[in-house]
Amino acid sequence: MSTPLRPVRLFLGQASGSRLRLATAFACSCWLALHMGFASASPVCLDTATQVPPPARALSMAAFAVQEHQAFGGQTMDAEGRMTEAGDSEAEDTRRTVPGLAPWQRVLGYWKAVDWRLPSQVRFGALRPADRHLLAQALNEATAGRLQGLGVGPDEGLDSSELRAVQAALARAAVIDTPWSAAFVSWLARQVGLAEDEFLFSEAHADYAGAAWQAGIDENSGRPTRYALRACDLRRTPPRVGDLVCQARGTGAELDTFEKIGEVLAARDTGGQPLPMHCDVVVAVDAKGFDAVGGNVLQSVTRRRLDFAPGTRWLDPSYLPEGCASGTPGCIDRHMSRQPWSLLLQWR
């Protein structure tokens, strides 16, 4: 990952405090220019988008995303950000195929792509969440066979079916309580065979997005990198099938341009300060727009439509918070899809 941003003091002899502060600020700005300039100065993003077909693993990632969307019941949002078809929620026990996994079991599978111990917390209204694995251990200690071995009567403790039921309830509660959209993307990356040096498997979108940002810096500087993705400006780069479209959200929603979110990604260490984000995988592109699939969108795996601006291959600005004021002539209300979309993670 990139070196954290630190002020650099220049030797100025007997420089005054104001001159020293000015030099410090200048050095910082040079650092940012060095670490951010690749995106706007290098034509690699646009050239790749318009001249290079998506690699096989990108197409495979899109196919797996479509598969999971169908397994969750096909929840869909139209180009105006309205839900047109409801699918299955993350906690449901519905099985679309027999035999098949229920939605909550599929989500647990996504987490295994990051760490089999996740999700680790169960929230129940207390000041601090409970640890799921400690609770599971306590349940195992309360089985009828275990208690009988300790001299407790035969009618005490949980039998095998009761134990399975409580364990399932515990896992479903953990799934509900923990955002899993980044785990979904990490699972997709595992499915297509990406290695540890090609993708940063994480429960945080900012970790693998930051690694893609660094890969772009390395690439532009002529340094070798095996990372599968580079960071590009979504508002200036047409997406291809398999690319990821991303936004900052929540407390990070003010990071509404490529430059703003890039400044944070460049200075952030892996696993560092939380940066709420969300990314969807592009699964189809045509002349008018593209479809993208994301996990934990309205508690499901959801497919959404995003339109291009008329006559272009750029995302229509009406999706952006500052794009146009709702209710004004010619402005299309994008409802739930009106987000600060700014970042494209492009397959290299």
Assess whether 126 and 210 both reside in one domain. Answer: no
- The answer to whether residue 113 is domain-embedded is no
Residue 208 predicted with pLDDT over 70: yes
- The answer to whether residue 259 is domain-embedded is yes
- Domain that includes residue 81, residue range: 38-94+180-347
Assess whether 164 and 56 both reside in one domain. Answer: no
Assess whether 226 and 133 both reside in one domain. Answer: no
Residue 323 predicted with pLDDT over 80: no
Adjacent-strand bridge partners of 304: 77, 292
Percent of the chain scored above 70 by pLDDT?
80
Residue where a domain terminates, one of 177, 195, 221: 177
- The answer to whether residue 299 is domain-embedded is yes
Task: Give the separation between CA 260 and CA 264, rounded to whole angstroms.
Answer: 7
Question: Picking from 45-54, 249-258, 302-311, which range would have the lowest pLDDT averaged per residue?
Answer: 249-258
pLDDT tens, residue by residue, 130-149 = 887 788 778 777 765 554 55
Strands 83-85 and 341-347, by their bridges, are unpaired
Assess whether 209 and 294 both reside in one domain. Answer: yes
Assess whether 275 and 148 both reside in one domain. Answer: no
Assess whether 204 and 225 both reside in one domain. Answer: yes
Give the count of domains, the chain. Answer: 2
Structure tokens at 253: 């929603």
- The answer to whether residue 147 is domain-embedded is yes
Task: List strands edge to edge, sheet with 244-248.
Answer: 83-85, 75-77, 300-307, 289-297, 277-285, 244-248, 341-347, 229-233
Q: Determine which helix (DSSP H) or strand (DSSP E) holds 189, and give its type and residue range.
A: helix 181-191
| Three-class DSSP category at 301 | strand
- The answer to whether residue 196 is domain-embedded is yes
Contact criterion met (CB below 8 Å) for 79 and 288: no
Contact criterion met (CB below 8 Å) for 299 and 83: no
Residue 200 predicted with pLDDT over 50: yes
Task: Give the separation between CA 294 and CA 181, rounded to whole angstroms.
Answer: 7
Question: Which is nearest to 312 in space by CA: 212, 228, 235, 222?
Answer: 235
Of 3-12, 86-95, 166-175, 283-292, the range with the highest mean pLDDT is 283-292
Of 118-132, 142-156, 200-214, the range with the highest mean pLDDT is 200-214
Residue 36 predicted with pLDDT over 70: no
pLDDT tens, residue by residue, 299-314 = 999 999 999 999 999 9
pLDDT attached to residue 172: 87
Assess whether 287 and 242 both reside in one domain. Answer: yes
Residue where a domain terminates, one of 177, 207, 223: 177
pLDDT tens, residue by residue, 158-168 = 667 787 788 88
Task: Give the separation between CA 201 and CA 220, rounded to whole angstroms.
Answer: 24
Assess whether 308 and 234 both reside in one domain. Answer: yes
Assess whether 170 and 275 both reside in one domain. Answer: no
Chain mean pLDDT for the chain: 84
- The answer to whether residue 101 is domain-embedded is no
How many other CB atoms sit within 10 Å of the CB of residue 252? 18
Average pLDDT value for residue range 205-218: 96
Question: Picking from 90-104, 282-296, 306-320, which range would have the lowest pLDDT averaged per residue?
Answer: 90-104
Q: Where does the chain show beta strands of DSSP type E?
A: 75-77, 83-85, 121-122, 130-131, 229-233, 244-248, 277-285, 289-297, 300-307, 341-347
Residue where a domain terminates, one of 177, 198, 225: 177
pLDDT attached to residue 114: 95
Assess whether 229 and 157 both reside in one domain. Answer: no
pLDDT attached to residue 136: 77
- The answer to whether residue 100 is domain-embedded is no
Task: Give the separation between CA 79 and CA 308, rounded to whole angstroms.
Answer: 10
pLDDT attached to residue 47: 96
- The answer to whether residue 3 is domain-embedded is no
Assess whether 304 and 164 both reside in one domain. Answer: no
| Three-class DSSP category at 94 | coil
pLDDT attached to residue 223: 94
Residue 180 predicted with pLDDT over 50: yes
Assess whether 200 and 170 both reside in one domain. Answer: no
